[in-house]
Chain A
Amino acid sequence: MICLKDIVKTYNKGKSNAYEALHGISMEIGDGEMAAVIGTSGAGKSTLLHILACIDGYDSGEYTIDGEEVGKISERQMAQERNEKIGMVMQDFALVEGFTALDNVMIPLDFADRKRHRKRKERRERALEMLELVGMAEFAEKQTNNLSGGQKQRVAIAWAIVNDPSIILADEPTGALDSATTREIMKVFRDLNEQGRTIIIVTHDPEVAEECSRVIRIEDGRIVNEDFDNVD
């Protein structure tokens, strides 16, 4: 369960060009939900997602994941949360150039807590399994710079789910893709949601939003509308 309460985020705080990107956002997202966050450009939806992904901070309010307040945990614990609980898919895919698809997918496994004691062979098998799941097994040894946009996004999804996170956050995951590939990628997300994962997708594409069971509209850093029953 993700819970936000009065989250405020100000950029360039204390400077003349300071501006408040989020003005007291509050919301709850239950386990297994598939939600879309929509809004115009600059509305604050990406900022919200980055806070949810624990890669950006907030100035006030309370953010809890499964009852644990993110603001109060150590940097190390937060890194562990990012590694184990959250999978992130970015619009620009956020893959490491010069690494193969397999190397990329193995990164979260390499960073995973040492308590898991996964051997290299096991990590490799797990990464291949994830690439297989997104239909990219045959491209495992290919460098990511040689893949198409859709292929890169699939690798990014494999990467996001390799540590079996309960939450998957996606920032404009289909923004750089054509409509056919968009449909394929959305199918992957739906499948992941059906497996019980919480999915939150930031998008300005109404077709993508329609695929989600809940739509949260943000404008000027505030939630203006929530549709809890988006899909029949």
Chain B
Amino acid sequence: MTWKYAVRECRMHVVMSVLCLVQAVFLFAVVIGLLSVFMARYSGYQPVRKLLEQNGFISNMVSSVHLEGDAEGRQVHSSEAYEEMLKDARVYGQYRVHAFVRDDQWVAEAREEDVFHSNMRAYDDEWIQGFVPRLQSGKWLEQENTEGRWLEAVVLQSSDRYKTGDTVYLDNNSMTVLQTKIPIKIVGIIDRNSDIIYKSNGRGYMDYHLLFGNMAEETEGLDIISNTNSSYMSETFFVSKRNLDSVQEQYVDQEAEENLSENYENVPSTGKTIFFTELEGVVLIVMDRDCPQEVFEYNKNRIAQISQFHFLHDLDYIKKNTWHSIMTGISDIIPAGAGMLLFTIISFVTLSTLMYQKNMRKYSIYYMYGLTWRGIFRIHVLYISLIVFAALVLGTVVAHVAGYFGIWKKIAVQIGVVQMGGCFAVMMVLLLSASLMCLSLVKGRSAKEILQEVE
């Protein structure tokens, strides 16, 4: 019954309904457009927001060394070791692993010429959980139990050499030959165009883009100049540092066994590791929010002392720059947008109230013949809702069309949860304000009074 009478209202007030509809369509289209701009910029930041919105530093490290103790002068090989040199800090590291994966012939030739290139990198858990690059196939790294017998890797490659599901073997980046071949199961292939947290190629940004490298961009020139890409970029194996450590633990004794391995002297001297790792690439050093300023400053100075890096920035500075670049342009039009929203709401509510007032006689008759005010109110709200819903659909179409034909330059119109959420919020504001106005017209008056008034 409510539906029937609400639809009838639409038919009976075509002009008013169309006026309301046009206003609401315009409003929804603008809301979708604005939120699309915001989301296009925010979507890149959102996955790493948790990582970056902490207290601390971001650095693109080249190398780090121990300045004192037994390890003095040696490279820092783990985030734990780096943390020990700082105060109350946690380090989310990336590592260059002195190991490589290639076919036997290539390995033999490399050994002969004593030319090796590492093509393996390891991530601390925080990076693995913090950001998942776009994959061409397979899955991203996990900290699942591999019983320490094999490594799981995802591969970034410029060719199609490896596929998900392949098993390859790891070799040592040195003249010594490994006793055992350590298997690597390829669980995923990274999309060549995907951003990855690797060696930052920040592209001149001073915001969250600093985190990322992009293989396609980095090798674009190389592809044109030469057929041979830089060797380390032709394929890179990404593994979990935790996975790497547990695999080493399984194979280390075997490798250290005299007479069986050429590696037996090397292994104990590196603290029972087969593959040497060094902190390199984008590293986060974070502290608690309430950490004293002195500790913050101490750590900053300490990092400068023990590490070489391409950059070292405060995370708060990066966060500030990031929000600034996301909101550039948007913040300028927010007052205009809010003004327009307010104007549209006021005129929409006015029109809706006028319609309600115009209908008061009819609604009083409905009341006389057995409908409660609540029931009448439901009819009116459903009628307004039909207009608003139709406006939402049309507004979405208008936004799409405007984007498609380039009427809104540089706006990639997207219809996502946020855009729909924004429209839903606007829809609620419209409906609530229209409803409250209509309620105030009836409040405390009898049907007879209303009927007499409108006569």
User: A residues within 8 Å of B by Cβ?
Assistant: 50, 53, 55-57, 75-76, 79-80, 82-84, 88, 92, 94-98, 107-108, 110-112, 159, 163
Contact = CB atoms under 8 A, between A and B. Distances in A.
Interface string B422-455: 0000000000000000000000001111010001
Given A79-B371, A79-B372, A92-B455, A107 B366 contact: yes
B133 interface: no
Given A53-B368, A111-B369, A111-B371, 7 more contacts: A82-B370, A83-B371, A96-B365, A98-B12, A111-B375, A112-B370, A159-B369
B365 A83 contact: no
A96 B363 CA distance: 9
A111 B1 CA distance: 7
Contact of A111 (B12, B366, B373, B448): B366
Nearest to A78: B372
A94 B372 CA distance: 17
Interface residues of B, number: 22
Given A96-B362, A96-B365, A79 B446 contact: no
B42 interface: no
B359 to A, nearest CB: 10
B372 A50 contact: no
Nearest to A81: B370
Given A79-B375, A111-B1, A50 B370 contact: no
Given A79-B375, A82-B368, A110 B1 contact: yes
A112 B369 CA distance: 9
Contacts of A56: 446-449
B12 A84 contact: no
A132 to B, nearest CB: 20
B375 to A, nearest CB: 7
25 contacts: A50-B446, A55-B367, A55-B448, A55-B451, A56-B447, A56-B448, A56-B449, A57-B446, A75-B372, A75-B373, A79-B367, A82-B367, A82-B368, A82-B370, A83-B371, A88-B369, A92-B455, A94-B365, A96-B365, A97-B362, A108-B370, A110-B1, A110-B5, A111-B1, A112-B370
B410 interface: no
B448 A50 contact: yes
Determine which residue in B1, B12, B370, B451 has the highest number of CB atoms from chain A within 10 A of its CB, and name it: B370
Name the residue among B366, B372, B451 with the largest chain A CB count within 10 angstroms: B372
Nearest to A97: B362
B446 A55 contact: yes
A163 B368 CA distance: 13
A83 B372 contact: no
B4 interface: yes
Contacts of A95: 365
Nearest to B370: A83
Interface string B1-34: 1001100000010000000000000000000000
Contact of A79 (B365, B370, B455): B370
B276 to A, nearest CB: 79
B195 to A, nearest CB: 59
B10 to A, nearest CB: 12
Q: Which of B4, B369, B372 counts the most chain A CB atoms within 10 A?
A: B369
Nearest to B363: A96
Contacts of B446: 50, 55-57
B447 A55 contact: yes
Contacts of B374: 75
Given A53-B368, A55-B447, A83-B370, A110 B4 contact: yes
For the complex of A and B, the 4 pairs showing the least CB-CB separation, nearest first, are A83-B370, A56-B448, A111-B370, A55-B447
A96 B374 CA distance: 19
Contacts of B448: 50, 55-56
A95 B449 CA distance: 17
A53 B366 CA distance: 13
B414 to A, nearest CB: 43
Interface string B355-387: 000000010011111111111000000000000
B368 A94 contact: yes
Given A50-B448, A55-B448, A57-B446, A107 B369 contact: yes
A98 B361 CA distance: 13
Contacts of B365: 94-96, 107
Contacts of A88: 368-369
Contacts of A80: 370
A66 to B, nearest CB: 17
Contacts of B372: 75-76, 79
Contacts of A79: 367, 370-372, 375
Given A92-B455, A96-B362, A98-B12, A108 B369 contact: yes
B69 to A, nearest CB: 83
Nearest to A98: B12
Contacts of B369: 82-83, 88, 107-108, 111, 159
Contacts of A55: 367-368, 446-448, 451
Nearest to A106: B4
B450 to A, nearest CB: 10
Nearest to A113: B370
Contacts of B367: 55, 79, 82
Nearest to B449: A56
B377 to A, nearest CB: 12
Contacts of A92: 455
A84 B455 contact: no
A82 B368 CA distance: 7
A95 B369 CA distance: 11
A231 to B, nearest CB: 29
Contacts of B449: 56
Contacts of A50: 446, 448
Nearest to A57: B446
Contacts of A107: 365-366, 369
